[in-house]
Structure 1
Amino acid sequence: MKRINSPRDISLLQINKEEVLVIACDSAGGLGQKTQDQIKVSNRILGKYTVKVPLMEVISVGAEVITVVDNLAVEYEPTGREIIAGIKENLALIDKCECLNGSTEENIKTVQTALGITVIGKTNLKTLNRYTSSPKNNIIAAVGLPLVGEKLLQNKSQAVNFDKFLQLKQLNYVDQFLPVGSKGILYEARILAAENNFDLRLIESEPDLEKSAGPAAVVLLSLKEEDFSRLKKDIELPLNKIGRLI
């Protein structure tokens, strides 16, 4: 098994001449319905939002999800069961509800919610190269606004959810997709440029480029500038030009 280097927050393991495993993970803590959770949110929503991030990271590079593992540092009943229900809501959108495995904490009473989720997918080198390369002069566009915590819950229509991400993934004129998390838009835009061995020339833009986008509330797209107006018609989310690959 050979590791393929990637600037993205994923692991790529080549298992034979053609096939590649793609591994992504995410965690959440202090959000939920327990006494010491800092942000109160339903357990179902917590599960749905947390699994969304690694799912998007794996699918962004053209991989098919083959398994999802949830490590829940909470009891199964009722907290774990409700988190798992949220996870399954997103998995149902890709017909992968049966690929879920995991564990809960049944020995110690917990007073704060914590969980980690790992997603494993599989692709081939040709598809991987397709979704990790862009031509020079492509523009980088940000779909959605950087939102986290309570602001995300209050402005969900301004953020990319998993269903909207799957719709974006169907746009055949987009060269690359890259979810944005806690490190912000600028960090991920530079990752996308580095992936292509280009520099990033920033364009004046409205959103805060260094603000956390929480559970991938924003997705970066690489596309030709002439397709930007087409993109504006195809989506119903905030859209901003971030930069250009030079």
Structure 2
Amino acid sequence: MRDVLFLPLSDEEELVIAADGAAAVGLKEDDFVHAPYETVVYFAARVALMEAMCVGAEPIAVVLQNFIGDKYWETLCSGIQQTFSELLISIPIVGSTESNFPTLQSAIGVTVIGKVKRAKKKIKITPKTAKFAVIGEPLVGNDVLERHDRVVPLSLFKHLLQHPAVLELVPVGSKGIAYELRQLLDDNGIVALSYHCALPLDASSGPATSLLVSFLPEEEQAIRTLVKNYFFPIELQL
């Protein structure tokens, strides 16, 4: 099941909630990975927005939880605005800051709220005849910063969302490609005896640096042309 919550709004529409967070990543002395706060929150917002948009939702608001300190609120909002800019959206940000006590490590949380028409939900629509691929590479920690050119760009993600040959998109998280693939296959009633990909299937993909995609087999070349060297096919034995 996707890391997204669906709540009924009406007979035709549902509320969509997706979230992500980061801890021990930032500029505090005890942080495990040191990175600018704009970058940290950019990736957290990116994950939550991708999760919501992948199921067909239109984001309508972002909730920011800041456990770093008051003086970083505007910096964090700036990082979230960067994701908005790359996705060509503009939505409000609301949230809260832990200002009573200092923290030894950085931590933030980002929640995205969206809406989707029931008839346009992009889940459980992959047939057994579909093909599968990973777009981008699984990266985590310092590798996200050092190999940023292998992180699937949000501009490409947006193109994939709108491509008529793409059936479902799933952001790959810390549990890896194989976990997300098994979930996607189970959701669609597809039983695979085995699967293979040139990428490490169990490696963490951290802040959704890669995407799992199912697509119409006759359009594989079109997908390859669009994503170029970000394309890694998955071979299934059914």
- TM-score in terms of structure 1 length: 0.91
2:212, 2:10 → 1: CA distance? 30
- Residue 14 and residue 243 in structure 1: after superposition, are their counterparts in 2 closer, same or farther (change >3 A)? farther
Aligned to 1:24: 18
One-letter code aligned to 2:181 = A
Identity of aligned residues (%): 32
1:241, 1:120 → 2: CA distance? 32
Asked if residue 43 in structure 1 is aligned to residue 37 in structure 2, the reply is yes
CA apart distance, 1:97: 3.9
Asked if residue 240 in structure 1 is aligned to residue 236 in structure 2, the reply is no
Structure 2: gaps spanning 5 or more residues: none
**CA deviations over 1:6-44 (Å, ceiling 9, x no partner):** x11111112211101111111100000111111110111
CA apart distance, 1:131: 4.5
What is the number of residues matched between the two proteins? 238
2:48, 2:12 → 1: CA distance? 23
CA apart distance, 1:171: 1.4
Aligned to 2:157: 165
Aligned to 2:68: 74
Aligned to 1:190: 182
Aligned to 1:107: 100
Contact 1:203 1:241 in 2 (8 A): no
Q: After TM superposition, list the pairs within 5 Å mapping 1:1-246 onto structure 2.
A: 7-77=1-71, 79-128=72-121, 130-244=122-236, 246=238
CA apart distance, 1:179: 0.6
CA apart distance, 1:161: 3.2
- Residue 104 and residue 27 in structure 1: after superposition, are their counterparts in 2 closer, same or farther (change >3 A)? same
- Residue 67 and residue 245 in structure 1: after superposition, are their counterparts in 2 closer, same or farther (change >3 A)? farther
CA apart distance, 1:94: 4.2
Aligned-partner SS, 1:200? coil
Aligned-partner SS, 1:137? coil
CA apart distance, 1:96: 4.3
One-letter code aligned to 1:109 = P
CA apart distance, 1:197: 1.5
2:133, 2:67 → 1: CA distance? 37
User: Which of 130-139 and 164-173 deviates more?
Assistant: 130-139
1:29, 1:64 → 2: CA distance? 27
CA apart distance, 1:91: 1.8
- TM-score in terms of structure 2 length: 0.94
Contact 1:144 1:160 in 2 (8 A): yes
Aligned-partner SS, 1:112? coil
One-letter code aligned to 1:14 = P
Contact 1:200 1:243 in 2 (8 A): no
Runs of 4+ aligned residues of structure 1 deviating over 6 Å after TM superposition are none
CA apart distance, 1:142: 0.4
- Residue 200 and residue 135 in structure 1: after superposition, are their counterparts in 2 closer, same or farther (change >3 A)? same
